[in-house]
Amino acid sequence: MNKDLKKILIFFTIWRSSLFLIAFFAVLFIPVFGGMFPYADKVLIPTYLPSWIWGFGNFDGVHYIKIAEEGYKAQFTQAFFPLFPLVISILGYGLTTFFNFYLAFFIAGILVANISFVLSLYFLFKLFNLDYNRELSIKSIYLLIAFPTAFYFSSIYTEATFLLFIVLSLLFMRKKNFLTSGIFISLASATKVIGFLLIPTLLWEIYLTYKNDGLKESNKLIKAVIGLIIAPMGMLSYMYYLKISFGSPFYFITSQPAFGTERSIDRLVLLPQIFFRYLKIFITTPINSGVFFNALLEFSFSVFILTLLIIFMRRMRLSYWFFTALNFILPTLTGTLLSMPRFVLMSFLIFPLVVEKLGKHYITLVIFFLILQIILFTLFIRGYWIA
């Protein structure tokens, strides 16, 4: 086995095992289950697993499992893109041969997420290694695993699968295999709405290659164009399905407020306005309230990534910087920083620069991140909203 892959697998295994251990003790520290989401009694409890295990399917997880089980029958679940639950559905129905129906789909969700994450880490190392040495690349992987909300990669959330498609699309993009990159962008855009943000990244990388006479041969240029055409097909296919089935190709947008009452879909809200709103929350909300805690999390994570984007603007590969910046800005246009602690996981392209900048102080940040992850994961597994 490759030595670097072995290091990644060992770190992942220790981290994943630790999450189970933390989840087990979380029940003792927080005996009252928050249950701030629907369908737990219909999707998770019927697995007959202990709550510290089925808690990995909390919040959005129940919606993905429900879609995998019965399609888009529940109102407004169209906000969740189809590819992740589709893969769970295929595997879940296969596992019903060995397990009860609900347990089969839960196991399928856990397997899809965790296998996706392991593969993501392996290919992400290869991507980082194109620009940085092996040690710095490995440290950047560790930083991602240690990130305070990285537990979402191991839960029944779309993050790990989406990360895999992003990393593969960028890796093939950098290797100038634009056709294959376009295929993975298409898969990414069928997994999460922000997957389409990879299209401008692909377009820019094709332009750079063309500018440097890297597409002289007609067949290479044709493949690049085909890659560009394929790239949005995942999202467009889902929009076509929504048009045929529900009468609106934009139903995934109009469904958003059902999963975030603060979101605005009828107008764009700029970042300074949002920061002002959050400052008002800090002034008017009791400091010991859940609202204050969540607002502080959302604000802090957003400011952290925004600061990094500003600091490393000139040092980051332009296509990487634009993808990271757009990934940050797009969710904020709805007028809230809701879920930003989870959304900023896709800012991973900036991590090697953080590791490089910190030098020997890198380990301090990793320890801080891990402590914060333990706290946030404990709350999440006990049914309290984080992101």
Q: Which of 285, 281, 327, 267 is nearest to 302 (CA)?
A: 327
Distance CA 239, CA 262 (A): 24
Report the 10 Å Cβ neighbour count for 112: 23
Degrees to nearest 5, angle at CA 47 with 54 and 260: 50
Tens digit of each residue's pLDDT, the chain (387 residues): 678 888 889 999 999 999 999 999 999 999 999 887 888 889 999 999 999 999 999 999 999 999 999 999 988 899 999 999 999 999 999 999 999 999 999 999 999 999 999 999 999 999 999 999 999 999 999 999 999 999 999 999 999 999 999 999 999 999 999 999 999 999 999 999 999 999 999 999 999 888 877 676 778 889 999 999 999 999 999 999 999 999 999 988 888 766 655 555 666 778 889 999 999 999 999 999 999 999 999 999 999 999 999 999 999 999 999 999 999 999 998 888 999 999 999 999 999 999 999 998 999 999 999 999 999 999 999 999 998
DSSP classification of residue 317: -
Task: Give yes or no for a contact between 52 and 33, defined as CB atoms under 8 angstroms apart.
Answer: no
Residue 221 backbone phi and psi in degrees, to 5: -65, -40
Whole-prediction pTM value?
Answer: 0.94
The Cα 252–Cα 242 span in angstroms is: 8
Residue 115 has a pLDDT of: 97
Question: How many other CB atoms are there within 10 angstroms of residue 221's CB atom?
Answer: 16
> Which H or E run includes 341?
helix 340-343
Alpha carbon 178 to chain centroid, angstroms: 23
At which residue do the structure tokens 């009452």 appear? 261
3-class SS of residue 116: helix
The confidence score (pLDDT) of residue 265 equals 60
pLDDT value of residue 31:
92
Q: Structure tokens of 322?
A: 């634009």
CA distances from 41 to 45, 77, 238, 381 (A): 5, 18, 29, 15
The identity of residue 262, as a single letter, is E
Dist. CA 270–CA 371, nearest whole Å: 32
Number of residues assigned to the chain = 387
> Within its chain, how far is the Cα of 358 from the centroid?
25
Q: 46: which DSSP letter?
A: G
Rounded (10°) angle between helices 178-189 and 218-230: 0
Q: Which residues of 153-170 are buried (b: 16+ CB within 10 A; e: fewer)?
A: bbbbbbbbbbbbbbbbbb
Q: Where are the domains of the chain?
A: 3-381
Q: What are phi and psi of 288, to 5 degrees?
A: -95, 15
Contacts 24+ apart (CB under 8 A), 309-317: 309/347, 309/350, 311/357, 312/350, 312/353, 315/353, 316/349, 316/350, 316/353, 317/131, 317/349
- What is the predicted pLDDT for the residue at 221? 86
